[in-house]
Chain A
Amino acid sequence: MIPLRGFGFVERHLASLFILPYIVIANIFGIFPLAYSMYVSLTEYNLARPHLGMPFVGMANYIILLGDPNFQNSIMVTFTIVAGAVFVQVLAGLVLALLLNLNLKGAGFVKILLLLPMMVTPSVTGIIWRILYTPTVSPINYYLQTIGLIPPRWLSSDFVIPSIIIADSWQWTPFVMLILLAGLQNLPPEPIEAAKIDGASRWQMLRYVTLPLLKPIILTAIVLRTIGAFKIFDMVFILTRGALPSSEVASIFVVKRLLDFYYVGYSAASSYLFAIIIMVISILYIWVLRR
C-alpha cells in the first residue's frame, strides 16, 4: 500500500502531517470552546435571564471573584485538601514502596491487593465512601463504637476535609506506591553496594543513599498528584454535592455557580482564575524539580 520510499510530498512535510490531525481536533473542539468561554468570562451572562444577552463587563468578574469570600474559601479548601492528600499519599506510598522492596514472601500478592483502590472508578469511590461515612449504615462507625471511641462526624463541616483527604488517599496512594517502587527497583546498584561494603546500617542507608537517589522520582510523584488532586471532582460531587463550604473544592465551586446559580460569566471567570493559580503552582513545582 505505502511504497517503501514513501510519497515525496508526504515525506517532506511529515512532521506537519503527523501533527495535523491533532491540531485540527484541538482547534475545533479545544480552542474554539476555550476562546468562547474566555469571552464569556468577560461578560455577565445569566442563564436564567437570557433576554439580557451577554453584556460585556471586562474584568469585573475577576475582580469581584478575588474579593469574594466564597472564592477565597474555596481556594483555602482546595489547597488544604491538595496539601493534605499529597502529603499522606507520598508518605504512605513511600513506606509501602520501601516495605515491598524488601521482597518478603508474598509481596507480589500483597502488591496486587494494595493496587485495587486505584482501579476503582472515581465516581464509584464516591459511593463507596458515602456508605462508609453515613452514620446509619457505616460499618466503620460500628467498629469504632465497639472499641469505645466516638466516631467523627464524617461529613459535617468540621470534618469533611479530612474525610475527603482520606477517601482520596485511599484511592491514589497505590499510584504513588507504584511509581516509587519502580524508582526503587531502578536505582543504580553501585552506591548501595558501596554503602553496604562500608558497613552502613539499614537506617543509615535509607537516609543517606536510598532517599537522595530517589529524590527525582519522589518529586515526580508529588507533581503528578498535586496536579491530579487539584482537579478532584467526581468523588466529592457524589459525596457531598458541594453543599457545605468546607467541601467546595475548585471544580465544585465552578460547577455550582454554573448549574445552581446560573452565573455563567462568573463561573467561567472562576475556572480560569483557578486554572491560572494551578498552572503557576505547577510551573513552580517543575522549576523546583529541575534543580
Chain B
Amino acid sequence: MKTWEKVVAYVILTIFTVLAVFPIYWIVLTSLKPLKLTFKQPDTIEAYVPQTWGAYNEMMLLGGFQKSFVNSAIIATCSTFMVLIISAPASYGAARLMSRKAGGRFLQSLLLSQALPGVIFLIPFLMVMKFFGLVDTHIGLILSYTTFFSPFAIWLLLGFFQDIPPELEEAARVDGCSKLTAFLRVTLPLASTGVAATAILVFIFSWNEFLFALVMTTTNAKTAPVSLFTLLAQHFAKWDVYASGSVTITIPVIIFYLIIRRYIVRGITLGGVKG
C-alpha cells in the first residue's frame, strides 16, 4: 500500500474516532466539572480537565439512585435468566424439533412482533399487572421484559443452535440419550458461548429499558434509567448531576459489551442470513 494511501486512511479513521469518542469524553468531563464551568465557554484548559467528584456526591444524595441501581441489577439479572429458560428450549424446538414449516411459521411470527412499537402495550400491560397485583414490583417488570425480549433471544439463539452439527446430537442419541438429554448434555454446553452472548445482550436491553419501567414503577422497583429521567425532570439545569447519573448507568453496559463484542456479530449475521 502506498504511503499516501495509508495516511489518508489514518486521517479518516482519526476523524471518525474523534467524532465517536468526543461526546463520551464530554459527558464524563461534565460530570467531573463544577457546574459553573459548564456554562462558561470552554476556552481555557480548565474546561477540559476533570476536577471534582461533587456531582457524584450530589447524585448519591438525591434520593433513590443507589436503590434504583440495585433494582436495575436485580431486574436485569432475573429477566435474563427467565428469558434464557424460556427461549433456549423454544429456540431449540424451532431449530430442530419442529418440522421446517412449523418452525418457519413460528419464527416469522417472532420477527413480526419485533416491529411493533412497545407503546401499544402500556395501558393493557398495566391492567394485567394490576390484576396480578404486580404493579411496582420487581416480578412485574421481570415478566414484562421476559415477554419483550424472548423473541429476540429465540431469534439470536437460533443461529447458534443451527451452528452445532446435528451429527453430534445424533451420536449422543445413538449412545442411548433421549432427545431431552441430548439437548441438555450436548447442545447446551456446545452453544454456551452463544447462550452467554444472548444472555448478556438481554441483560443490556433490560438494563436500558425505559418507557415501561417509567410507567410501571414508582418507589419500590424503580430502575436506573427512570431515576435518570427523574433527575432530568427536576427543575434546574444541573448538567453535572445528569452527567454523573448518565455515566454511572452506562458503565456496566460498557463492561458487558466489551466482553461479548466478538459474539454479537456472529449471532446477528447467522440469525439474519439463515433465518
Please give the residue numbers on chain A whose beta carbons come within 8 Å of chain B beta carbons, in ascending order: 2-7, 10-11, 14-15, 17-19, 21-22, 25-26, 28-30, 32-34, 36-37, 40, 92, 95-96, 99-100, 102, 104, 110, 112-124, 127-129, 131-132, 136-137, 139, 142, 170, 174, 178-179, 181-183, 216-217, 220, 223-224, 227, 230-231, 233-234, 238, 250-251, 254-255, 258, 264, 267-268, 271-272, 274-275, 278-279, 282
With contacts A29-B143, A102-B9, A254-B117 known, is A11 near B180, CB below 8 A? yes
How far is A19 from B117 in the complex, measured between Cα atoms in Å? 24
Nearest-Cβ distance from residue A190 to partner chain B, whole angstroms:
19
20 contacts between A and B (CB under 8 A): A4-B176, A7-B180, A10-B180, A19-B98, A19-B106, A29-B147, A33-B127, A36-B124, A104-B13, A116-B21, A116-B24, A120-B254, A123-B228, A127-B232, A137-B239, A179-B269, A217-B269, A254-B120, A255-B119, A271-B120
Check B250–A119 contact: CB distance below 8 A: yes
B164, CB-defined interface residue at 8 Å = no
* Residues in B whose Cβ lies below 8 Å from that of A275: 115-117, 120
Nearest-Cβ distance from residue B6 to partner chain A, whole angstroms:
7
* Residues in B whose Cβ lies below 8 Å from that of A136: 39
Check B12–A123 contact: CB distance below 8 A: no
Which residues of chain B from 69 to 101 have any CB-CB distance to chain A below 8 Å in the complex? 85-87, 89-90, 92-94, 97-98
Which residues of chain B from 158 to 215 have any CB-CB distance to chain A below 8 Å in the complex? 176-181, 184, 207-208, 210-211
B53, CB-defined interface residue at 8 Å = no
Q: Quick one: which of A33, A117, A183, A272 contacts B125, CB cutoff 8 A?
A: A33
Check A37–B41 contact: CB distance below 8 A: no
B19, CB-defined interface residue at 8 Å = yes
* Residues in B whose Cβ lies below 8 Å from that of A2: 180-181, 184
Q: What secondary structure prevails in chain A residues at the interface with B?
A: helix
Q: Quick one: which of B115, B208, B250 contacts A278, CB cutoff 8 A?
A: B115
Q: What secondary structure prevails in chain B residues at the interface with A?
A: helix
* Residues in A whose Cβ lies below 8 Å from that of B249: 121, 123-124
Which partner residue on chain A sits nearest B231 by CB separation? A127
Check B26–A6 contact: CB distance below 8 A: no
* Residues in A whose Cβ lies below 8 Å from that of B264: 178
Check B97–A14 contact: CB distance below 8 A: yes
With contacts A102-B9, A110-B13, A118-B257 known, is A33 near B115, CB below 8 A? no
Q: Quick one: which of B87, B117, B242 contacts A274, CB cutoff 8 A?
A: B117
Which partner residue on chain A sits nearest B88 by CB separation? A18
Q: Quick one: which of B6, B97, B124 contacts A15, CB cutoff 8 A?
A: B97
Check A29–B144 contact: CB distance below 8 A: yes
How far is A11 from B177 in the complex, measured between Cα atoms in Å? 11
Please give the residue numbers on chain B whose beta carbons come within 8 Å of chain A beta carbons, in ascending order: 1, 6, 9-10, 12-13, 16-17, 19-21, 23-24, 26-27, 30, 38-39, 41-43, 85-87, 89-90, 92-94, 97-98, 106, 111-125, 127-128, 143-144, 146-147, 150, 154, 176-181, 184, 207-208, 210-211, 225, 228-229, 232, 237, 239, 242-243, 246, 249-250, 253-254, 257-258, 261, 264-266, 268-269, 272-273
Q: Quick one: which of B20, B30, B147, B269 contacts A174, CB cutoff 8 A?
A: B20
How far is A5 from B207 in the complex, measured between Cα atoms in Å? 40
Q: Quick one: which of A5, A11, A100, A121 contacts B208, CB cutoff 8 A?
A: A121
Nearest-Cβ distance from residue B225 to partner chain A, whole angstroms:
5
How far is A6 from B177 in the complex, measured between Cα atoms in Å? 7
How far is A127 from B230 in the complex, measured between Cα atoms in Å? 13
Check B39–A119 contact: CB distance below 8 A: no
* Residues in B whose Cβ lies below 8 Å from that of A5: 176-178, 181
Q: Quick one: which of B120, B210, B268 contacts A268, CB cutoff 8 A?
A: B120
Check A120–B232 contact: CB distance below 8 A: no
* Residues in B whose Cβ lies below 8 Å from that of A21: 85-86, 89-90
How far is A142 from B180 in the complex, measured between Cα atoms in Å? 63
Which partner residue on chain A sits nearest B211 by CB separation? A233
Check B13–A34 contact: CB distance below 8 A: no
Check A223–B272 contact: CB distance below 8 A: yes
Which partner residue on chain B sits nearest A6 by CB separation? B178
